[in-house]
Structure 1
């Protein structure tokens, strides 16, 4: 069967895991009469408040217009320290009203919240699904395997790339700004602060310094800038850098990570990084410091990776022995092919114009003018006073955990244990 004769859902099932460029889906979640298919998109924010009821969510509280000199991430020691608060969605809505008052410069962010935590709210879990995008039925038939992100203006996700899968993000309420860069070392990958499956950039894009501005403008790769509106769905390929910021006082989006065959090796890499960081950093999240504990974890994921890769190899061999007429070779789609074939639904993201990118940078540079005094008295190993100058220990940790180093170690490890 020719790939072009397949329905779009089937095409995306084969195309998305192989796409190398981000694309924007518009109108994919609308019916022929213009209404939304997802109940989640049909509901107003007031509806969502009622459906969440008295369920309390954990929100990070950060500074909206002040440079903290470090990433405003919850695992990072910053000054002032990142605060947390528990709020219902109704209380969050009231708080965002206070944020419009003059002089209020805080943001709230309930980020990376797994929908599994809302299994007691089946109406919310069943209010959306990812089947139109070719996600496996068991995995994408509802929102159970998704995450939800709820934030106010200024809430942001620091620049990073994800080690597992590809990312599908649906905007529900408000607008969200995305800055994307193709995979490269230009944005300086680091694993401190540590978060599993997340490789952060050294750049504090939310509050850029003059030095960071100069470095960003010298990067040869052209960035992409996109503002997601409600109903938009963004596809982010594996390995693409992305920085995300809420533009409106109430912002809600959901996402899911699609599976990739490379996830097997990514698990080995993440286990290696975990061992190094746990042994070298004084993180409270690593209560067990015994090397053999993490070595056993690495051994387990290596065994599983080899087993799965052998299984894939055997399946390919079996397919090659079948009669030619029974074999199906899906068309290899590029982002441009999809956009040309389905112009009403799919759009390739263009490179940001020079004036657009400079305007983006200047807006975030202004925040650097209102620096908070640093808290010099800290015993935390996570503290670094300048985002461009690490302690030697941090430099050493990041060097040992550099993606190129970890990839080479993974390759050697798998080859020796095959």
Structure 2
């Protein structure tokens, strides 16, 4: 991305991202200890790229050819999408699927023709292929020794390996629709090729026009094709603050909780490994997801019980009956209360040890939690921002807002405008997106009303569809309020 007039540019080179210090890899000293890396992950409120942290990981050498040898002739499922500039997202429900080996994928990708194999009906010049969401435990079920090649312990999570990871293999143009993950935060290692990430902060959710159709547990999709947006249909997308970064081999991207992201492969073959890190907020998020599941499945199956393929994401394979979904909701609420009771028991024991005999008679449920609130914060806001800013350097690169128009935004590897770090009103604009604290329920209701107003069509619509109704009923802000009311009702 070109720097603005009079601005300086910070660039992290490929050498700084993937190479170790002079000498053998075994002599390389990582820039962050596991404890420090975890502290950063649990407190940082904007995306950032870790460099020089995985030089000694065996998984660092898992290119597609190597993986093809490890998997042998095992077929895997590829999602096939069109290379198009259509201003509508390519959701997974609109794609076709192919069962093929990695060797067949590489042959198709190299020959750029369908040939006579599983890809024979897909012209390489018009289609991309993506083996996404491949869980290690299923992919390498007979080769569990490879789990140890992924060492998330270096980021402060002892025992976390490939067993808690997923693999992504794609061709040029392969991408995931813009979405946010309901649970956890995300660590992503780029192994082969480059991927361009378009990220948007949680506070910009109204500008992304969230929807739960297609339905997938833990994924809130955007109606906007963020690379080729229809600004006539989605005018408030202009207000969204895009953060763009191109992730190269050896780099690890940290995606904070509830950050929207659209990810596209920009090289002929890309390989990535990710792991979702559990957070304290996930306990309530599971209640919100269960509420969403009950409502979406109840209304959509009532509308057309025999055609779930049009609204249910292919990744959803569980029973969607109302009885099962209600059981799931009750289980999520029970799990939340069990967690609170365990936490309160631990706190009470710690208080007794310290001579504090105060007890609480009810569960301490937050009345309103902002989606942008960090998972852990022990410092005053100003001190936290200064501490975070001091961490950035050649081995931790912040992903800052793009200065370009939403429909044209792109980004070269870590080229970022220094003007994003110029203090403004005593704050750093590069940090300001994630520093908002808890909001009141009144504020949430105001945001809902504001979004409803922003979605109002210029002319009256003749028909309100089930999907229109669901966009309101299971808006993330609404389900958060419903979950809080459910929980509070059990604590009175």
- Common fold by TM > 0.5: yes
Cα distance, 1:393 vs. partner? 1.2
Residue aligning to 1:348: 398
Cα distance, 1:47 vs. partner? 2.2
Going from structure 1 to structure 2, the CA distance change for 1:334 and 1:227 (only over 3 Å counts) comes to farther
Cα distance, 1:205 vs. partner? 2.5
2:47 counterpart of 1:22: yes
Residue aligning to 2:141: 119
User: 1:220-299 residue pairs with structure 2 within 5 A?
Assistant: 221-282=240-301, 283=308, 290-299=321-330
2:57 counterpart of 1:38: yes
Residue aligning to 2:468: 395
Tell me, yes or no, if the aligned pair for 2:224 and 2:234 is still in contact at 8 Å. no
Of 222-231 and 291-300, deviating more is: 291-300
TM-score normalised by structure 2 residue count:
0.68
2:189 counterpart of 1:170: yes
Aligned to 2:482, the other structure's residue is in SS state: helix
2:56 counterpart of 1:55: no
2:73 counterpart of 1:73: no
2:219 counterpart of 1:198: yes
Residue aligning to 1:315: 346
Cα deviation 1:58-104 (Å, max 9, x = unaligned): 0011111252x643222x2x4xxx21111111111111113389982
Tell me, yes or no, if the aligned pair for 2:184 and 2:279 is still in contact at 8 Å. yes
Cα distance, 1:210 vs. partner? 5.2
Going from structure 1 to structure 2, the CA distance change for 1:278 and 1:92 (only over 3 Å counts) comes to same
> Cα RMSD over matched residues?
2.9
Tell me, yes or no, if the aligned pair for 1:149 and 1:254 is still in contact at 8 Å. yes
Tell me, yes or no, if the aligned pair for 1:163 and 1:266 is still in contact at 8 Å. yes
Alignment partner of 1:359 out of 402, 408, 417: 408
Tell me, yes or no, if the aligned pair for 1:157 and 1:244 is still in contact at 8 Å. yes
d(CA) in 1 for partners of 2:318, 2:248:
42
Going from structure 1 to structure 2, the CA distance change for 1:213 and 1:352 (only over 3 Å counts) comes to farther
Cα distance, 1:335 vs. partner? 6.9
Residue aligning to 2:456: none
d(CA) in 2 for partners of 1:295, 1:412:
17
TM-score normalised by structure 1 residue count:
0.79
d(CA) in 2 for partners of 1:121, 1:103:
31
Cα distance, 1:350 vs. partner? 1.6
d(CA) in 1 for partners of 2:201, 2:142:
39
Aligned to 2:90, the other structure's residue is in SS state: coil
- Unmatched 5+ stretches in structure 1: 1-6, 31-36, 362-388
d(CA) in 1 for partners of 2:243, 2:277:
22
